[in-house]
Amino acid sequence: MTLTTHLPQSYGYVPDVNAAQAKQTPVRKRQVPIALVSLLTAAGLLLIWAATATAGLVSPIFLPAPAVVAATLWNLVTVGFVDSTLAEHVLASLGRVLGGLGVSVLIGVPAGLAIGMSRIGRGILDPIVEFLRPLPPLAYLPLIIIWFGIGEASKVTVIALSMLPSIIISTAAGVRAVPKDHINAARAFGATRRQVTLHVVLPSALPSILTGTRIALGTGWSTLVAAELVAATRGLGFMIQSAAQFLVTDVVIAGIAVIALIAILLEIAARALERWLAPWASAH
Amino acid sequence: MSHLSFNDVSLTYPARDRNGAAQLVLDRISLSLSTGEFVAVIGRSGSGKTSLLNIAAGFQEPSEGTVTLDGAPIDGPGTERAVVFQDDALYPWLVARDNVAFPLKLRGVGERDRRARAEELLELVGLPTAGNRRISELSGGMRQRVGIARALAAEPRFLLLDEPLGALDSLTRSRMQTFLLNVWTKSGSGALLITHSIDEALLLATRIVVLSPHPGRLAADIPSSFAADILSGTPAGDVRASPAFKRMHDGLIGLIHTASPEEELAA
Ligand SMILES: Nc1ncnc2c1ncn2[C@@H]1O[C@H](COP(=O)(O)OP(=O)(O)OP(=O)(O)O)[C@@H](O)[C@H]1O
Ligand SMILES: [Mg+2]
């Protein structure tokens, strides 16, 4: 192994061995394959479901067989249900949830900064957040429908409102956790208040903001499906609600499976986003 | 030549609760630091060393008295005074090079120029290949060197150092002491070093200030000349072994002890 070749002007500092190589993540010991156990559990449940359904213990109206649901799922993809293909339902739902996310990030991050950085901001916004946070979104959905009708605006509003508290709270918590030395260092280098906010407070709070956003996305997704049960003409919630009215149970179950799958995918995407935007936070 | 002066500076922390008493932390400190000087501040834990440095940096306002820079009272932090923090205070979201370039970025220096300058400074602190490393990938000693490079990037007239070597093992620490001394000489700045180590103060400083605790008062302000020996190439071990060094060392220990009330030591 060779050390660094030459150190012009290195002021008598002899580099230690550590300097020659970056610290690397230590190699983990082999873990018990928990994923395998989970996989087997899932397969077992599927088997019980299939056995119950094919044995005729339960009427197909209550519990269609897995194979039937799979065929229905394929049918949903190719033909669709109530005027829309599965992709169209999914896109309608995803569009709403991402729209709501955009709105609540645009409002929630500045609001969280205000709470974390200013006493007056906290005085004004804290009660609003504390009022909104424990409120089930479906409780204010009727009011939103009165105000905005049953179109897209009311759904995006409800989703945005349901996401807002966790984004505001996580932003404010991230801001309050910024080490004082980090701010002082920037001030000593001549940073203005705006530069401190932009170059120190925001990046320092970013991991917390992203975590809050990921949690909000979960909340938003479940709120969305519930909101679509009440008022929509397209979307996954609407799809299973209409199917339920005609007792098309296979579509209901297929829809639930798709909703769960998308929830998982959103979680994975959010985690990937955290790793991508704030790699230093997950480094150790 | 520039002067940073404490003029009768006192600092009182208000009582924590209704029954508590206000705490006088610094009591009428008058002290002057010029560029080209290396002043070490020693004193027991809680004697107000960090408070003194925070006031010099402008992070903390004194309750009484003023700090002046060439006669003009300072008003908060300023780019002519750079701080190296005890726990590095580097930004984990920036790679080493961007941390060093941070003061230049605030000043509006263009991307290419500040990169080049940061690389120069990293080379200066003996980390020529660390530019793209994340802070979490650096050892404690490497981090402190990045912190020093960042402070130097601001081209300050005064370097304020709050126990920058406190967390290092003794071997790394003695290397870093020599390094610090060389950086200070080259930069021509004035240095204010807070340290727990009498040994370190003697090896690096041109003047040693002793703070007595509760309240922090100036107990001594003594010139020291061992740094010159180190700079002229005498090994630190030989300097330490000299009778003059031992005499000063013992004298300072005595000063710190007599400067501390007995019940304090028992606690
Ligand atoms: N924010 C604060 N509020 C109240 N008291 C404080 C505050 N900061 C420091 N003190 C008190 O002021 C005194 C001096 O603290 P300071 O941190 O300056 O000491 P120090 O000499 O740097 O100690 P150490 O060597 O342990 O770092 C201590 O008694 C401490 O309890
Ligand atoms: Mg201290």
Q: Is the pLDDT of residue A116 over 90?
A: yes
Distance CA A252, CA A73 (A): 10
Amino acid at A194: R
Per residue in A254-277, pLDDT tens?
Answer: 999 999 999 999 999 999 999 999
- Are B125 and B151 within 8 A, CB to CB? no
Q: What is the pLDDT confidence band of residue A25, given thresholds at 50, 70 and 90? A: low
- Are B166 and B115 within 8 A, CB to CB? no
Per residue in B168-211, pLDDT tens?
Answer: 788 888 888 888 898 899 888 999 999 989 999 999 999 999 99
- Is A13 part of the contact surface with chain B (CB cutoff 8 Å)? yes
Long-range contacts of B204-209, Cβ-Cβ distance < 8 Å, separation of 24 or more = B204/B38, B204/B40, B204/B177, B204/B180, B204/B230, B205/B38, B205/B39, B205/B40, B206/B37, B206/B38, B206/B39, B207/B37, B207/B38, B207/B39, B207/B40, B208/B39, B208/B40, B208/B42, B208/B252, B209/B31, B209/B39, B209/B40, B209/B41, B209/B42
The full set of domains in chain A, from first to last, is 65-282 (1.10.3720.10)
Distance CA A140, CA A148 (A): 12
The answer, yes or no, to whether any atom of ligand 1 lies below 6 A from the CB of B54, is no
- Average pLDDT, stretch B89-110? 95
Our CA-based measurement puts residue A160 at a distance from the nearest CA of chain B, in whole angstroms, of 29
What pLDDT does residue B168 have? 79
Q: What is the pLDDT confidence band of residue A101, given thresholds at 50, 70 and 90? A: very high
Q: Do B93 and A22 touch (CB under 8 A)?
A: no
- The residue assigned the tokens 């799922």 is A73
Q: Give DSSP secondary structure letters for A55-92.
A: TTSS-TTT---HHHHHHHHHHHHHT-BTTB-HHHHHHH
Paired tokens of A78: 């190719």
Residues, beta carbon < 5 Å, ion ligand 2: B 50
Amino acid at B166: G
What pLDDT does residue A14 have? 46
Residue B54: nearest ligand to its CA? 1
What pLDDT does residue B254 have? 87
Distance CA B73, CA B137 (A): 41
The CATH number of B3-80+156-258 is 3.40.50.300
What pLDDT does residue A150 have? 81
The answer, yes or no, to whether any atom of ligand 1 lies below 6 A from the CB of B50, is yes
Nearest ligand 1 atom to the CA of B43 is 21
Peptide bond into B77 cis (omega under 30): no
Give the Å distances, CA to CA, from B61 to A48, A128, B66, B261: 72, 35, 9, 28
